[in-house]
Amino acid sequence: MSRHDTIALPAGYRRADAFAFHGRDADALAERVDPHTGRIRKGVLLGGVPTVLDLTLHADRAECVVASDGMVADDAVHDALVNMLGLRIDPAPFELAVRDDPLFGPVVARQPGLRVIQSATVFEALTWAIIGQQINLPFAIALRRTFIGLAGRAHSGGLWCYPEAADVARLDIEQLTSRKFSGAKAETLLRFARLVADGALSLARASDAASVSERLLAVKGIGPWTVNYGLLRGWGYADCSLHGDVAVRNAIGRLGGTERPDMRAAEAFLAAYRPHRTMAAAYLWASLGQPAG
């Protein structure tokens, strides 16, 4: 089944942000990104149905072709598209708030309109966060690719689709540990997926950040960093504190000309930017690609 949709993009929309996020893995099974044509193709299971979201990004709009191997709810498709385009958080309020800030002002001036691009689904964001816990990015990307191959399914067009909770819940721990997942990481992934699949853990988007955090922190193996990353990349909350992120702390030290702060000091630093801590983290990540000073 195929349908078409058009989503308006805000003035100054940074297509490069979407290309960079969805194109992290050059060998990905579930994504194909071509910045030259402005096209992003993403495979994801929605309601158990293999679905390919095919986006072409223009200056003012995203033309979306949705090809699914069955019936998929319109709201699930729209939710995934909005996430993938990074349209949940408007960067303008943060940019206005830090216009005269000695640290963030110059960073924002060099990259105005930065977008927080999200995973297509909340489940994808959280499983990616669990996979990436305490390992370097290239290894995390390789594990993610393995994870998709184990639990995902192929779309009729050939692109693999990122799995849902029920698909992951069916795995045995040995299927993960035999492919370089640590025992603790594999146990957390399966525990989390089975709670979601059984209905014991809700990932409803309408939930507030406090209730989401409480539910997730009750799952063994999920800590504050994973929760905040999930809130950012999955739910799109505007005030997530990423003080536990090493790159964020490196950026704070680099901008201030000091050593990397510990988590307590980083938390205090970010608290000054409430209720825009998500955008603060996004710009801190971006600052690592800018010249020092």
Question: pLDDT (tens digit, 9 = 90+) per residue, 106-161?
Answer: 999 999 999 999 999 999 999 999 999 989 999 999 999 999 999 999 999 999 99
Provide the whole-model pTM: 0.94
Summarize the confidence of residues 41-55 as an average pLDDT.
98
What average pLDDT does range 215-219 have in this prediction? 96
- Find the distance separating the first CA and the last CA of the chain, reported in whole Å: 52
Mean pLDDT of 192-207: 94
Q: What's the farthest any 2 CA atoms get from each other in the chain?
A: 55
The pLDDT > 90 percentage for the chain reads 92
The predicted pLDDT at position 3 comes to 87
Taking the C-alpha atoms of residue 129 and residue 224, their distance in angstroms, rounded to an integer, is: 11
Compute the distance between CA of residue 282 and CA of residue 63 in angstroms, rounded to an integer.
Answer: 26
Q: Is the pLDDT of residue 171 over 90?
A: yes
Give pLDDT, residue 276: 97
Residues 50, 46: Cα–Cα separation, whole Å: 7
How far, in Å, CA of 45 to CA of 290, rounded?
36
Give me the mean pLDDT over the 56-72 stretch.
Answer: 96
Side chain identity at residue 252, one-letter code: I
Q: Which amino acid is at 218?
A: A
Give the per-residue pLDDT at 206: 84
Which amino acid is it at 93? P
Instruction: List, in sequence order, the alpha helices (H) in 99-245.
Output: 104-110, 122-131, 137-151, 165-169, 173-177, 183-197, 209-217, 224-230
Q: Which residues contact 286 (CB under 8 A, 6 or more apart)?
A: 107, 111, 114
Distance CA 113, CA 286 (A): 12
Question: What is the three-state SS of 96-135?
Answer: HHCCCCCCHHHHHHHCCCCCCCCCCCHHHHHHHHHHCCCC
Q: What is the model's pLDDT at position 293?
A: 54
pLDDT-based confidence at residue 291 (cuts at 50, 70, 90): low
Q: Taking all residues of the chain, what is their mean pLDDT, rounded to a whole number?
A: 95
